[in-house]
Amino acid sequence: MNTQSSMQQSVQPTVLANAIRALSMDAVQQANSGHPGAPMGMAEIAVALWTRHLRHNPKNPNWFDRDRFVLSNGHGSMLIYSLLHLSGYDLSIEELKNFRQLHSKTPGHPEVGITAGVETTTGPLGQGIANAVGFALAESLLAAEFNRPEHAVVDHFTYAFVGDGCLMEGISHEVCSLAGTLKLAKLIVLYDDNGISIDGQVDNWFADDTPKRFEAYGWNVIRNVDGHDIDAVDQAIAQAKQHALAGNTGPTLICCKTEIGKGSPNMVGTEKVHGSPLGAAEIELTRKAINWDSPAFEIPSEIAQAWNHDQAGASVEAEWDKVFAAYAQVYPELAAELSRRMKGDLPADFESKFGQYIQETTAKAETVASRKASQFAIAALADILPEFLGGSADLTGSNFTDWKGVTAVRAGQAGRHINYGVREFGMAAMMNGVALHGGYLPFGGTFLTFSDYSRNAIRMAALMKQRVVHVFTHDSIGLGEDGPTHQSIEHAASLRLIPNLDVWRPCDTVETAIAWQSAVSRPTSLGMAVQAGGPSALLLSRQNLAFVERDAQTLAQVSRGGYVLRDDAAAKAVIIATGSEVELALKAQAQLQEEGIAVRVVSMPSTNVFDRQAKDYRDSVLPQDLPCVAVEAGCTGGWYKYTGRNGAVVGIDSYGESAPAGVLFKHFGLTAENVAQAVKQVL
């Protein structure tokens, strides 16, 4: 028996739970804000999982084969902060005292990269469980790809805590349904069924039979577990793990009946303890009720020792190190490949190989829709990047996110293309989980208009600086007859406003290839190693786009987000364009030239990337002494930062219409003639 186990036996498990309660209520009280109810109510659940089942190493939070833990109900952040501190992670008692304060390691909601041991940023309810499904999917696929008989180098569980709020959010249905279909058996979710949300008793607005709901998804459901009985929760987790190992089974939901704010004599079981401090008087009464004699933020040494996981964590990682060393001896190439992918590094020959593809694309000079150009690039990338993991929200044949010979992911079948179904939000949040897990570079497709459904998960990817690629096709009124419900107007402009999100709207096959190159080359953020990267969004056309000839010097500038595509030494104005409107700009330039008016054409496939360039470069592309006209089939507002008030923007500030694309472009004034006229008006 190890020291930790013996110490835990000498300290009553309930006392371990009360340590969580004490730290949580004290930190929330000191901050004068926060959510003490969930940590206090889930304390026993946490003890059962973290002291008896969770495989992790506090001294190496990034150990690859650790179990993943997600606190989906992220408002209960003091629960995970208490667990991390008590277990031995780099989270001091001073940081707990600084809960919710500026630049502390204990922000209001858990943030990956800020706090060692936090696997994902949770706050918007439902996305944590979605991330957890992504974790479990990544583990399942990596295990199928790399494990060999007698060598299970990828073998861990994903655990998630969820509350009523998470399960009310529609995204929980999207991802849990898919998790059941894919039989992600090593996903174990513990449901804090306390019946309380901010507005009070949830049975007035959330009366679902949750166990039946999850059984309908194909989940294993363990009902009516006393969430305050540590042994009962322990047994339920053990049962779930056995279920997972049985093969061809679904995930497990453990329904834990709890009281929110357990331990508080006057607030237990009420909404009063959900999102407000208990107050000094109630805290004193709670201390007496749980028999906790220690002052605020003090943990008796025997309890601290019983909680500490340093020795056990080092031991479990050391065991895995032996497994991996034996694996590397027998399968050195696989071990090297897995090691590379665990770090998130691209292959050493990536730039040369994909550079060759760009040269080939230039030579072919094909006129195709940029969604098709994207598929060409995807096929090339899939050959170079084994970690490339694609998918679509039931629009594969429109988004072109698959490639020849790719195997689809199915229950019990590994592959590299995921049919997410009509689940745009779920897809986006699952991709975040896949990226956070490590080992894969995820991308997924839908129509640009439906980025609205994905929006908050895109924002979370940007906040967490995760390398995720969103393929958004049918990017404008060029969609045509499907009409205004499907035609993107405001979407490009609004996506460009999201910090850390690189938005690309390429004009031809070459710009599309370079957009992909930029997206997959962004730095990888894993655990505490947060890099200055983030997600990318590729906005792609349904209609064919003419190939644009470039010399080598011009080609080299495309990756800078904006560049001079066609110039004239005597230029009197600049036309800026993106995507399908670059062709309009070039035609307008030709018309103006016939009238003796010289203009420069700038292609700006990514405003975000262009804005990061040095001022000297930006000024060389857009000289301050030349008037500018921007043209894009979408909202005009964002373009005035380049044109200024004295410039002009040719765009669309209304919703679209149902008609063939060619008719619509004329109807909305997106013609070379109108662009040329706009130039003449600013001269």
Nearest CA among 340, 337, 378 for reference residue 357: 378
Q: Is 389 helix (H, G, I), strand (E, B) or coil?
A: strand
Alpha-carbon span 271 to 253, nearest angstrom: 25
List, as one string, the DSSP characters of 187-243: EEEEEEE--EETTEEGGGT----HHHHHHHHT-EEEEEEETT-HHHHHHHHHHHHHH
Q: Can you tell me whether residue 543 is helix, strand or coil?
A: coil
What is the torsional sign of CA 396, 402, 408, 409? negative
Q: How many other CB atoms are there within 10 angstroms of residue 326's CB atom?
A: 14
Exposure class string for 387-402: b at 16+ Cβ within 10 A, else e = bbbbbbbbbbeebbbb
Handedness of CA 466, 524, 182, 71 (dihedral sign): negative
Q: How many CB atoms lie within 10 A of CB 626?
A: 15
Burial-class residue 490 by CB neighbours within 10 Å (0-12, 13-18, 19+).
middle
DSSP, collapsed to helix, strand or coil, labels residue 537 as strand
Query: What is the Cα gyration radius of the chain?
Result: 28
* Strand runs labelled E in 436-587: 441-447, 469-473, 502-504, 536-539, 544-545, 563-566, 573-577
Catalytic residue among 44, 119, 271, 424: 424
Return the structure tokens found at 409: 């992911």
Distance separating alpha carbons of residues 18 and 21, to the nearest angstrom: 5
CB atoms within 10 A of CB 543: 18
Annotation says 282 is catalytic:
no
**Parallel, antiparallel, or unpaired: how do β-strands 441-447 and 388-392 relate?**
parallel
Cα 192 to chain centroid distance, Å, stands at 24
* Residue 561 backbone phi and psi in degrees, to 5: 90, -30
Q: Where are the alpha helices (DSSP H) in 482-594?
A: 491-495, 509-520, 552-555, 581-594
Sign of CA dihedral 449, 452, 458, 463: positive
Residues with catalytic roles: 424
